[in-house]
């Protein structure tokens, strides 16, 4: 064991604590800091060139890139299972200019993807990052192929994208990416350690990151469980610890509307302490109140469930969503997520209780939905022979619905949605049953906000505006890329592209 020349930089702590307080995180920080003060002294227990916090898309891709450059790499994960949100994600990956698009005659470009993301993000996006990500999608796609990831032979149309550009893993899950990448990383010699929670980022007197304090043997959610240990990161530290959608306390402080009346699609470990550690190290918070609601979730199941892939890939593109009180549509079912979520949230009765909208599609439109079978099996979707039967089951205004269906069919045939401007990529009407339907509501899904990084994935210091030496971040813990609304399938793009860049740059001192 070597003697640590870097200390916790005690005089700087009060300044950093002030920065955290500014970001609304002081209570969490005080707990962590006092925990560290009782810690194991100033010796390193272990040393690596690159240490990565988080085992999702961003962390695993960073690990592979760092290891390829000869760095010794440790990935820590606080949960018992690896993969975070990435492992439970839907496996939908936006790639600008994929070979699958070319084969189907779909013309796409980096500019068009940037334009779509900017439009959804209401212009809050940090364009230089957006461009790097859109440009990197083709490169990230090939990277996944290299490690054995498999995609279906389809290109999907997701809401807010102007053209079909979304690829889908064959198992319909992000696990179709995290498992092969994790296996490749382990084969290359990356060490993965679960139940190990980041407690604090250590810096020397110049502010350069030297290592971290962890709780090894941590039992989530017991904050104080596990043994405190110090791990040195000789070349770089990559923070890839994801978003905070499951952290009701913190998300409500950013946006009071995100209280526990809303469920989340995220895994339980999507909490804010990694972000707090970054803020304590001086990182700049960006748009923390931009928290996304997924507009395709179901009130009839917990978490992400089976509905999103049915609603997103069948009912919304090829069917309609209606207000049960009128039978009428109320939004372009393929608008960006914020537009749809805002519209759905308005459906409340006078007492403020949700009046869940219903979305449905004819059988012809269900071909791309991977989860319809399970949605039917678990009773979150239902099959009907006629529109009348569907209206009766959900208590939808029958006359209003029948008139709406007639109007919609006429729009599809004419190729123009004169009500809400939805683009019809296929001419699928609601004339011939059977029909498949489910209730829709919103769930807390994604944090667009996080810490500021530059195009090298370096974390930017709040006071100086300069990179914090040897500190990198990627994935959902970073902010600014997606602005006010992330487009579906663009998080995988973001995490893989910036994860690889972070890993490469974190290993640079070693290289």
Question: Which residues contact residue 90 at a Cβ distance below 8 angstroms, ignoring those fewer than 6 apart?
Answer: 172, 173, 174, 304, 308, 309
Q: Closest Cα to residue 321, out of 306, 302, 304, 339?
A: 339
- Contact between 53 and ligand FAD by CB under 6 A: the answer reads yes
**CA atoms lying within 13 Å on the CB side of residue 282:** 26
Between 139 and 178, how does the x/- string for binding to ligand FAD read (CB under 6 A)?
A: -----------------------------------x----
Question: Which residues contact residue 225 at a Cβ distance below 8 angstroms, ignoring those fewer than 6 apart?
Answer: 215, 217, 218, 219
CB of 196 to ligand FAD, least distance (A): 6
Q: Is 369 within 8 Å of 355 (Cβ atoms)?
A: no
Pick from 235, 265, 284, 292 the residue near ligand FAD by CB under 6 A.
Answer: 265
Strands 73-76 and 435-439: unpaired
Closest to ligand FAD by CB, 322 or 448: 448
Q: Is 265 within 8 Å of 443 (Cβ atoms)?
A: yes
Is 337 annotated as catalytic?
yes
Active-site option among 69, 337, 340, 439: 337
- Contact between 57 and ligand FAD by CB under 6 A: the answer reads yes
Which run of H or of E encompasses 460?
Answer: strand 458-460
Q: Is 385 within 8 Å of 434 (Cβ atoms)?
A: yes
Give the 3-state secondary structure of residue 500: helix
Strands 467-473 and 227-239: parallel
Between 180 and 219, how does the x/- string for binding to ligand FAD read (CB under 6 A)?
A: -----------------xx---------------------
Pick from 240, 372, 448, 507 the residue near ligand FAD by CB under 6 A.
Answer: 240
- Contact between 236 and ligand FAD by CB under 6 A: the answer reads no
Q: Return the range that interacts with ligand FAD (CB under 6 A); candidates 97-105, 261-269, 432-440, 454-462.
A: 261-269
Closest to ligand FAD by CB, 64 or 405: 64
Q: Give the distance from CA 136 to its chain's centroid.
A: 17
- Contact between 56 and ligand FAD by CB under 6 A: the answer reads yes
Q: Return the range that interacts with ligand FAD (CB under 6 A); candidates 95-103, 238-246, 384-392, 398-406.
A: 238-246
CB of 398 to ligand FAD, least distance (A): 35
- Contact between 242 and ligand FAD by CB under 6 A: the answer reads yes
Give the 3-state secondary structure of residue 202: strand
CA distance 167 to 102: 13
- Contact between 84 and ligand FAD by CB under 6 A: the answer reads yes
Q: Is 472 within 8 Å of 502 (Cβ atoms)?
A: yes
Between 461 and 490, how does the x/- string for binding to ligand FAD read (CB under 6 A)?
A: --------------xx------------xx
CA distance 419 to 79: 47
Pick from 8, 25, 72, 89 the residue near ligand FAD by CB under 6 A.
Answer: 89
**Catalytically active residues, by annotation:** 337
Interaction site with ligand FAD (CB under 6 A)? 53-59, 76-79, 84-86, 88-92, 174, 197-198, 240-242, 265-266, 269-270, 273-274, 304, 446, 475-476, 489-492, 495
């Amino acid at each position: 064991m070597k003697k640590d020349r870097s200390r916790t930089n005690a005089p700087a702590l009060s300044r950093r604590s002030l920065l955290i307080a500014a970001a609304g995180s002081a209570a969490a920080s005080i707990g962590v800091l006092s925990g560290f003060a009782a810690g194991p002294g100033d010796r390193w227990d272990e040393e690596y060139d690159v240490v990565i916090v988080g085992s999702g898309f961003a962390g695993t891709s960073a690990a592979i890139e760092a290891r390829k450059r000869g760095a010794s790499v440790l990935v820590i994960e606080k949960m018992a299972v690896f993969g975070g949100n990435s492992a439970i994600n839907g496996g939908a990956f936006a790639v600008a200019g994929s070979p699958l698009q070319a084969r189907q005659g779909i013309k796409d470009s980096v500019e068009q993807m940037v334009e779509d993301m900017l439009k959804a993000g209401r212009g809050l996006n940090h364009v230089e990052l957006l461009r790097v990500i859109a440009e990197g999608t083709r490169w990230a796609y090939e990277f996944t192929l290299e490690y054995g990831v498999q995609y279906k032979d389809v290109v999907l149309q997701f809401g807010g994208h102007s053209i079909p550009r979304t690829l889908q893993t064959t198992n319909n899950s992000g696990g179709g990416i995290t498992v092969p990448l994790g296996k490749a990383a382990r084969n290359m010699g990356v060490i993965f350690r679960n139940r190990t929670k980041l407690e604090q980022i250590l810096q020397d007197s110049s502010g350069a990151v030297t290592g971290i304090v962890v709780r090894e043997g941590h039992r989530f959610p017991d904050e104080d469980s596990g043994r405190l240990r110090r791990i040195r990161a000789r070349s770089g530290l990559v923070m890839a610890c994801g978003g905070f959608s499951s952290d009701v306390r913190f998300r409500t402080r950013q946006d009071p509307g995100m209280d526990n009346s809303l469920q989340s699609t995220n895994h339980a470990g999507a909490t804010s302490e990694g972000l707090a550690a970054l803020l304590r190290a001086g990182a700049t918070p960006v748009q923390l109140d931009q928290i996304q609601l997924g507009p395709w979730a179901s009130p009839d199941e917990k978490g992400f469930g089976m509905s999103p892939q049915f609603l997103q890939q069948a009912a919304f593109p090829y069917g309609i969503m209606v207000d049960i009180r009128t039978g009428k549509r109320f939004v372009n079912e393929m608008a960006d997520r914020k537009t749809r979520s805002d519209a759905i949230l308005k459906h409340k009765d006078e007492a403020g209780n949700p009046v869940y909208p219903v979305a449905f599609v004819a059988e012809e439109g269900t071909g791309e939905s991977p989860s319809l079978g399970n949605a039917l099996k678990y009773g979150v979707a239902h099959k009907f022979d006629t529109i009348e039967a569907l209206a009766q089951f959900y208590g939808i205004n029958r006359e209003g619905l029948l008139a709406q269906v007639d109007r919609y069919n006429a729009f599809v045939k004419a190729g123009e949605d004169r009500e809400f401007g939805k683009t019809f990529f296929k001419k699928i009407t609601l004339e011939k049953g059977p029909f498949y339907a489910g209730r829709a509501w919103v769930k807390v899904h994604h944090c667009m906000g996080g810490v500021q990084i530059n195009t090298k994935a370096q974390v930017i210091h709040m006071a100086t505006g300069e990179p914090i030496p040897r500190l990198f971040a990627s994935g959902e813990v970073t902010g600014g890329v997606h602005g006010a609304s992330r487009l579906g399938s663009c998080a995988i793009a973001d995490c893989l592209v910036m994860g690889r860049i972070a890993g490469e740059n974190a290993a640079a001192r070693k290289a």
